[in-house]
A and B are shown apart, each in its own frame.
Chain A
Amino acid sequence: MSIQEVQNTTQHAYSPRRQTLDRVMNSIGRFVGNFLIDHWATMITSVLGILVFAALSVPFLSYFGLDAISKQIFFALHMVCAQIPSHSFYIFGHQLGMCARNFSIYTSMFIGSLIFVLSKKRIPGIPWWLWILMVLPMAIDGTTQMFGLRESTWELRVLTGTLFGLGNVWFALPLIQKTILESLPAQSLKENASN
Chain B
Amino acid sequence: MTNSQDQGAFEVIFYTKAGCHLCEEARDMLEDIAALTSYDLTEIDIRSNPTIFEKYRYRIPVIVINNETLIEGRIEFRDLAKAFHLR
Contacts and interface: CB of A to CB of B under 8 A. Distances in A.
Interface stretch (A79-87, A140-148, A177-185): A79-87
A83 B17 CA distance: 17
Interface string B54-75: 0001111000000000001110
A95 B21 contact: yes
B19 interface: yes
B74 A74 contact: no
Contacts of B58: 85-86, 88, 90
Interface of A: 58, 62, 67, 70-71, 74-75, 78, 82-86, 88, 90, 93-95
Contacts of A67: 19, 21
Contacts of A85: 22, 58-60, 72-74
Contacts of B59: 85-86
Contact of A75 (B19, B21, B57, B60): B21
Interface of B: 17, 19-22, 24-25, 57-60, 72-74
A95 B39 CA distance: 29
A14 to B, nearest CB: 58
17 contacts: A62-B21, A67-B19, A71-B24, A74-B21, A75-B21, A75-B25, A78-B74, A82-B74, A85-B22, A85-B59, A85-B73, A85-B74, A86-B59, A86-B73, A93-B17, A93-B19, A94-B20
B19 A83 contact: no
A75 B60 CA distance: 16
Contacts of A94: 19-20
A90 B22 CA distance: 14
B76 to A, nearest CB: 11
A67 B60 CA distance: 17
Nearest to B53: A93
A83 B22 contact: yes
B74 A84 contact: yes
Given A85-B72, A88-B58, A90-B58, 16 more contacts: A67-B19, A67-B21, A71-B24, A75-B21, A78-B74, A83-B22, A83-B74, A84-B74, A85-B58, A85-B73, A86-B58, A93-B17, A93-B19, A93-B57, A95-B20, A95-B21
